[in-house]
Structure 1
Amino acid sequence: MRPTTARAVHGVVAVVTAVAVLWQLALIVNGEAVLNETARPDLAVRLARFVSYFTILSNLLVLGCSVVLAVDPLHDGPRWRLVRMATMVGITVTGVVHWFLLRPLLDLSGGSYVVDKLLHVVVPVLALVAWVVAGPRGQAARPQVLGALAWPLLWGALTLVRGSVTGWWPYPFIDVDELGWGRVLLNLLGVAVLFGACGFAFVAADRTLARRSPRSA
């Protein structure tokens, strides 16, 4: 793919992701919630919870990476490769977990429904498509998979500590008060396995795509 086309592809992902995140932020400021429509804490609490959702963090990573690649579609470097792997795995798991675990629990309408689909479906799909068609290729490697697990593990630990103190849990499948520690830890283990599987799948796919498109590597 030509650099100008790759820039356009990543630019589209950046714009869509920015719209989704800012739209969700506007809903939060207005007192709307994603998983609990009846709770209306004050603004400071709502904003703190906003940045506590893994969905928001993974979308922000997509936004940052997409902006970088829209400027330089062949951007590279050891730290960049790790961030890129963490981003792609994070947004993929966001979409999968939402589709199978959270979507059946939600009953949204209007703007909340649209932004939910943008954050959990549209952005993950666009990010994956952009990674496949625009690259850059040849950057994924197995050692990055373990490093990419660091931030979700840290997020999980902080979420459990915070939830234990405040009683607020961002997602039902990690609600210790409702499910108990054993079930929650098992759920988190399952998500961690999913992270690892996605990471190795990206490595294998990157190698295959690099062989087919040597110029992009």
Structure 2
Amino acid sequence: MRKSSAWHALTAAVAIGALVLQTALVIEGASVLVDENPPTLATRLIRLVAYFTIQSNLLIAIASFLLARDPSRDGTRFRSLRLAGIVGITVTGLVHFFLLRPLLDLEGASYVADKLLHMVVPALAVIGWIAFGPRPRVERRAIEVSLAWPIAWLVVILVAGAATDWFPYPFLDYDEKGWGSVIVVCVAITALFGAVIALYRYADRKLRT
């Protein structure tokens, strides 16, 4: 239990630290996907929260903090939070590595924040889930929430993008990429979420903690 609590505490601390660092950079005018004409502070902060990376790291931070206090924590709401967080952070790491990483050329604190949010936190979260669980925790309600969240996020981003002409990720910009490409990407992302959820559901039944 001590090892589990310590690992979850470490994960929460790194996630919170990464979120604070990224927020500070945004306040200063820096961002992961840099704009040539920086918007107002309020707009920058709203856009920061719109990033799926930020949302998934926030869920991991909350779930890990709760697990650090009680490694055997359970409950319907917590199961949904935990599964959504671990699935979201897994997809965050995969999408970053295969789609976004080649597009970025960061230095200094921006580089550190990027690696923490997209690589270190996902690694800590996944290792912690495999090693310490707790399990079983994957149930139907948690699965529904974990799939509904990214679908709702995609819908909101696409609708907001039509009004603001801003998209958190270039592969969702239908003005530049075209609707055909964006639809394919959305279907692929949804399928990826389904596959990751299925993998965690299988592992939840087979692994022991």
Please give the TM-score of this superposition, normalised by the length of structure 2.
Answer: 0.96
Pick which of 23-32 and 106-115 moved more.
106-115
Q: Is the 8 A contact 1:65 1:84 kept in 2?
A: yes
Alignment correspondent of 1:213: none
SS in structure 2 opposite 1:168? coil
Give the Å deviation of 1:39. Answer: 3.0
Corresponding letter in the other structure for 2:187: L
Match of 2:147 in 1: 149
The alpha carbon displacement at 1:191 in A equals 0.5
1:148-207 alpha-carbon deviations (Å, 9 max, x no partner)? 111111111110011000000100110111011221111011001000100010011121
User: For residue 77 of structure 2, what is the aligned residue in structure 1?
Assistant: 79
Identical positions, percent: 49
Match of 1:117 in 2: 115
> Is this contact kept in 1: 2:6–2:68, CA < 8 A?
yes
Quick one: which of 130, 133, 136 aligns to 1:132?
Answer: 130
1:191 matched to which residue of 2? 189
In structure 1, the partner of 2:25 is 27
Q: How many residues align?
A: 209
CA distance in 1, matches of 2:29, 2:131: 39
CA apart distance, 1:130: 0.7
CA distance in 1 between counterparts of 2:4 and 2:199 reads: 22
In the alignment, the residues of structure 2 paired with residue 58 and residue 39 of structure 1 have an alpha-carbon distance, to the nearest angstrom, of 27
User: Which deviates the most, 95-104 or 200-209?
Assistant: 200-209
Which amino acid in the other structure matches residue 39 of structure 2? P
Q: Is the 8 A contact 1:140 1:203 kept in 2?
A: yes
Following the alignment from structure 2 to structure 1, what is the Cα–Cα distance between the partners of residues 32 and 175?
19
In 1, Cα distance between equivalents of 2:106 and 2:91? 21
Shift of 1:37: 4.7
CA displacement at 1:138 relative to structure 2: 1.1
> Structure 1 segments of 4 or more deviating over 4 A?
none
What does residue 163 of structure 1 align with? 161
Partner of 1:53: 51
Q: Is the 8 A contact 1:146 1:196 kept in 2?
A: no
Does the CA contact (< 8 Å) of 2:76 and 2:142 recur in 1? no
1:29 and 1:158 map into 2 onto residues whose CA distance is 24
8 Å CA contact 1:142, 1:203 repeated in 2: no
Unaligned ranges ≥5, structure 2: none
For 2:176, the equivalent position in structure 1 comes to: 178
Helix, strand or coil at the partner of 2:207: helix
Task: Output the CA distance in 1 between the equivalents of 2:165 and 2:158.
Answer: 10
CA distance in 2, matches of 1:41, 1:144: 37
Gaps of 5+ in 1: 211-215
